[in-house]
Each structure stands twice: as structure tokens, then as C-alpha cells.
Chain A
């Protein structure tokens, strides 16, 4: 029933995202879209670091790349990553949003417009408010909104901003997020 999972994270999210990716099996039925704040001038290394323990392949997509299930797509450094109709990635060099490029809000909003109620959005630890509006859009368009439990977050700002703006479906710690994703059937 779901068509995609999108995850946003910033400061303090690296270990969480590593654990989540590690827990996914190679036949995970959905694409996983990752928008994580990162150094804009460091193009290489991040995807490699995330790949070490990941159960599914991680791709830093080119523009117009087709999105496929069982793969993770990491927003490249210094580009916004949009989801385009036709299940494709579209990249953009437009101005930073919330001081961020990639901006989690933009990835979430465009994914919500394409997948609507068939999207799962997850906000993890982070030090700014990027992503809060995007998660609200996912919820408004019928998708499922999950926020990492602020009590578990290294930095609470992003999850608390999201909880303030949206009545989310679940507040989960990392183990619960993992269990939830592992139970998704194709």
C-alpha cells in the first residue's frame, strides 16, 4: 500500500540512520529517500560511510534518475532533491531553504505531492527547524508522519519543531522505527 519512505535528519542523526539502514533487508519493498544535512563542499565520502553497514544499496542520484524499490536515494551535496511525477528524482540549485541545501522541507513537500497518502515521512534528530513544514505537508495530504522521540535525540530542535507543527501518527525511538519499517509488506 505504501510507495515510499522519506527520512530527514541533521545533527545527531547519522548513527540513527546508520542503524535504520542496517536493519533493512535487500528485498525491502519501498524506495527510501534520504535528505540529510551535510557539508556542501564535500561531495564524496558520505554515501560510502552510510553504505558500510546498509542492508540496501545507497545511491546519490543523478538528475532524472528513476526511483526503484529496495534502494536508498541520498540527496547530493549542495543540491535540493525533488521527487518528480513519474517517480523520478529532480535536482535543483535554487537558493537554500532554512539555510539548507538540500532542504528537508523541499524533499518532503515534493514527495508528498507525488505519493500523497502512500508516503511515510520520518523526522530524526537535528539542530534546526527544516523538515517541520514538510512533515506537515505529508500529513495534510494523507501520508503517515513519524518523529523520532525527542528524548532519544542528540539534538531535539528538529523533532520538537515537527511535533509542534503537526499532530503526528507516531513518536518512536530508533528501535521502534526499525520494527515499524521491518513490518512493511509489499
Chain B
């Protein structure tokens, strides 16, 4: 259990420095989880407290990338919610790739540490569709891009990931997608070689446009209501009519302004479909 606990005043001070000195806007992040992330960064880097963090940020240019990498919550699992990935494979991906003249655009709008991207790529590969789509991925940091491109995600819980892959009824063996380098798992980087990375500040500024599938799972849980609405608005305008939006299984469009722009495609897995107008 983390022992250093940051107060609200100190949290606001860090947020102010991030905005004023670096242009990163965390003002509309959900307070409790953001406080915990700050505590995590402070403890992880042997810093004393919030002032120590601020001084490290201001005095060490290279630390910002590390900070942004660590402030983003981990995805922690390959194929999290296997039933979601099954529906994605058997219904959604089939539909968006059917008779499409151009490569359908898939947008992993979440600031993902790589697990969602590799999970998606593995499924597309098993469907022989990896080269028939264009994947765009939002990232915060160079460190994150390097991690994904190197295949060294080092997923923590091999047993869970294996079990998830089995629940998905994958075609092959989970282990056929990685090699061991000592104790480290290194994924086959061919899986992600065609992904276009879009580097962003704090939340979603740029979108690929004409998106047929947006994967944005377990991200709005880290936003407050205001940013939640803003980001959903951005996503909904970037999508084509009939396009799919996947949220986390405990996130819902209900009670948001975006709700009237979508219909529910699969309620259990929280997959929505963009309406025509």
C-alpha cells in the first residue's frame, strides 16, 4: 500500500505546473485516480512529495516523458474481457471489412500501453485482415511508442493472458505470438508495424477522421464529467455513420450528450453504433 498521500492543494499545484510550464492539461481528470497516479509516480521515482515531483519536472527535461508514461494507468491485461474480443472478431470486424473499397480505419483512441493494440492485431491476423485495415493509435509519450514498437510489453500476468486467449477461442497458441528474452516476453513486432501513431497532449486533439471502429475502453473512467463529454463529442464527430464505438464494460453512454448519436449494438460489452445523422 502506498504510504505517501498527496493532498488536494498539492495535487492542484502539480496540475498547474504541468499546464503552465509544459502545456499538459490534467485539470479535468477524475480527482481520486489522478491523485493515486501522482502518488504512484512520486513513490516510484523515490521523490519525497509533491514539491519534489515539481522540482524534478522543472529541472530535468527528460523526466517529463517518464512522468507522462507513468501517470497513465496501465492496461495490464491482454484480451481483457475475452467476450468483448469475441464479439469484436465475430461481428464487428467482419462487418467493417466487408466489401470496403478503402482500408477501413480503426482508431485505438485510448492511451494504451500496448496491450489493446497487440490484442487487436493478433485477432486481425487470425482473420487474415491485418493488412486490410489501417490502425491509428493515440499515444502520450515516446517511451510508449518505443515500448509498443519493441514488442517488450512485459505483460505482468502470463497466466491471466493465456487464459484470456483461451476464452477467446483463438486459432493458435498464445505463445506463438511472442518469444522469451531471458524472463521478458517480446511480442512479434510484425503485428504492429503498420500502425500509425498519433502523439497527443493529455486528451484527444487529433482524430484520423472517417473512422469505422473506435476502441476507447476504460479511458473515460479517468476523466471528470466535463472532459468525458468533450472527448465523446470529439470521437462521435470523427466516426462514419454505422461505425462502431467500444467502451469499457463498466462505462456507458447513457446520461451523456453523445447518447442520442449512437444506438446500442451490444449492451453487455458496451459496443455502440454511430447513427446516420
Contact = CB atoms under 8 A, between A and B. Distances in A.
Nearest to B254: A62
A93 B248 CA distance: 10
Given A63-B251, A76-B250, A82 B1 contact: no
B33 A94 contact: yes
Interface of A: 40-41, 43, 60-64, 76, 78-79, 82-85, 90-95, 97-98, 105-106, 110, 113, 133
B237 interface: no
Given A43-B249, A79-B250, A98-B1, A63 B220 contact: yes
- Most chain A CB within a 10 A radius of its CB, from B31, B218, B221, B251: B221
B80 interface: yes
B75 interface: yes
B225 interface: yes
Contacts of A60: 250
- Most chain A CB within a 10 A radius of its CB, from B32, B74, B167: B32
A10 B46 CA distance: 33
Given A41-B164, A43-B249, 16 more contacts: A40-B160, A41-B167, A62-B250, A63-B220, A63-B221, A63-B248, A63-B252, A64-B225, A82-B33, A84-B32, A91-B250, A92-B73, A93-B218, A94-B36, A97-B1, A110-B32
Contacts of A90: 30, 32-33, 221
29 contacts: A40-B160, A41-B82, A41-B160, A41-B163, A41-B167, A43-B81, A60-B250, A62-B252, A63-B220, A63-B251, A64-B228, A76-B250, A78-B81, A84-B32, A85-B32, A91-B221, A91-B250, A92-B73, A93-B73, A93-B74, A93-B248, A94-B33, A94-B36, A94-B37, A94-B74, A95-B156, A97-B1, A106-B36, A133-B1
Interface string B241-274: 0000000111110010000000000000000000
**Contact residues of A: prevailing secondary structure:** loop
A87 to B, nearest CB: 13
Interface of B: 1, 30-33, 36-37, 40, 73-76, 80-83, 156, 160, 163-164, 167, 218, 220-222, 225, 228, 248-252, 255
- Most chain A CB within a 10 A radius of its CB, from B76, B160, B225, B228: B76
A103 to B, nearest CB: 9
Contacts of A43: 81, 83, 249
A160 to B, nearest CB: 17
- Most chain A CB within a 10 A radius of its CB, from B33, B83, B163, B248: B33
Contacts of A97: 1
A76 to B, nearest CB: 5
B32 A78 contact: no
A64 to B, nearest CB: 7
- Most chain B CB within a 10 A radius of its CB, from A61, A78, A92, A93: A93
Nearest to A103: B1
Contacts of A40: 160
Given A41-B164, A84-B30, A94 B73 contact: yes
B219 to A, nearest CB: 9
A78 B80 contact: yes
Nearest to B222: A92
The 10 A-B pairs with the shortest beta carbon distances in the complex, nearest first, are A63-B221, A82-B32, A133-B1, A93-B218, A94-B73, A91-B221, A62-B252, A92-B33, A84-B32, A91-B250
Given A41-B167, A78-B80, A82-B32, A92 B1 contact: no
A117 to B, nearest CB: 18
B32 A63 contact: no
A62 B251 contact: yes
Contacts of A92: 33, 36, 73, 221-222
